[in-house]
Amino acid sequence: MKILHYTLGFQPSRTGGLVKYAEDLMTQQAIDGHEVIALYPGEISFIFRKVRIKKVESRKFQCYKIINSLPLALFGGISEPDKFMKSCDKVSYGKFLKSIKVDVIHIHSLIGLHKEFLEVAKELGIKTVFTSHDYYGLAPVPHFYFNGVDYSSNNTNLAWNIMSSNALSVKKLRLFQVPFYPTIRKLLKILGKNPKSKKNLVIRKVTEVIDYSGIRSYYKAMLGLIDAYLFNSQLAKEVYEANHIIPKNSVIVSISNSSISQHNISVNPHEKTVVAYIGPDEEYKGYFDFLNIVDDLDPEKYDIKTYGHFPNEDCPSYIQQNGYFTKETIDRIYADIDVLIVPSKWKETFGFITMEALSYGVNVFVSENVGSKDLVSQNHIFYDKQDLLDKLNSVQRETVKLKTLKDHVIEVIEYYSRVRM
């Protein structure tokens, strides 16, 4: 099969579960003999303003980038909605899709993508499939979450104003599309100026200053042009349906990536039970809830560790902050963890960290907001602090048969085939 994927780009320019999953999926599809092409938002040209498609260096598959895509609201929301639905000439998209002649288009995000792309695909009779990695388009932010509040069941114009109250100007958003953006991002994190961090949020009193009805209709039309949906969890499907996206053709398929395999687990008993958090030190991920939860654990019985972010001053001294880890050290990290807590506050569409930890035989507890709760039994899902504390003392690790990336690719290809019939 010949498949075009629209993704956000590749590491190091782009990071996160969506980026890794999309590249892993494309790579495995190519290994399995399918012809794979990637398309992603590239830089902005200040000389030639028209949209064009440029071929770039291949990976295990062909790669193209969109010059002059729509702005990339990777976080913070939308401050200038008109610029996010600016129309473009269909000619470049038409020429590109006619030249590559694909069987199906797999879309991993609406960020940066023009509606005209989907319109051309529809006119050419090319089926489109969308994976629900996040909620961008339903909301102005990928997480449907801002300052301690989930807006997935209260999606109003006022909510869009609130979620966008810290939105960057389009001029600043264009920095995401310069070649040296990864350096800027790393420097901001080192300096403690990460704009996504809770301590850098500026909370303002918000009124309905901006009318978002146009951009909301624009994204609803885009979602309506998509032929089929791959929901990666029951939770993701419920959020889309609650926000009036009820596709005629959809399926729930948990996802996987290249790091998932059943590892040879040798359980080394620790003197104390090691409880850990892995992820950014951000509120929507439940980091501050984790700090609150472990504050009630007996230090004589538990060691507490965090990974996945730079050490910060919010963390109590009794917690060992271990920073980031690499593929080379991941086996050792998980060998040192007895219990992983995944305390997300946003309705996370999946959550690879759950799957990864399970593959190492770690005892995992997830909040009710984590889509990958589909993988664990009810005893490993918690609803509040006390519920988790009770379960920590009584619930043992469980063995979960996990799906490999190769297994997942077979499911996805089969779904493409059904959609094309």
Distance CA 69, CA 51 (A): 7
pLDDT at 336: 93
Enumerate the H helices of 295-351 as residue ranges.
330-335
Q: Does residue 228 have a pLDDT over 60?
A: yes
Q: Which residue has the higher pLDDT, 340 or 12?
A: 340
**Mean pLDDT within 398-414:** 92
* Residue % of the chain over a pLDDT of 90: 77
What's the CA angle centered on 91, arms 57 and 249, to 5 degrees?
80
pLDDT at 149: 94
β pairing state of 145-146 and 104-107 = unpaired
Per the listing, tokens 């993704």 go with 7
Name the band, by pLDDT with cuts 50, 70 and 90, for residue 190.
low
Q: Which residues contact 327 (CB under 8 A, 6 or more apart)?
A: 259
Q: Does residue 16 have a pLDDT over 70?
A: yes
Distance CA 421, CA 96 (A): 24
Name the band, by pLDDT with cuts 50, 70 and 90, for residue 295.
very high
pLDDT at 202: 56
> Does the model's pTM come out above 0.75?
yes
Cβ proximity of 363 and 214 under 8 Å:
no
pLDDT at 182: 57
pLDDT at 9: 92
120-143 confidence digits (pLDDT tens): 999 999 999 999 999 999 999 999
Q: Which domains does the chain have, with CATH numbers?
A: 2-257+408-420 (3.40.50.2000), 273-392 (3.40.50.2000)
Name the band, by pLDDT with cuts 50, 70 and 90, for residue 189.
low
367-395 confidence digits (pLDDT tens): 999 999 999 999 999 999 999 999 998 88
**Mean pLDDT within 57-77:** 93
Q: Which residues contact 406 (CB under 8 A, 6 or more apart)?
A: 28, 32
Q: Does residue 298 have a pLDDT over 80?
A: yes
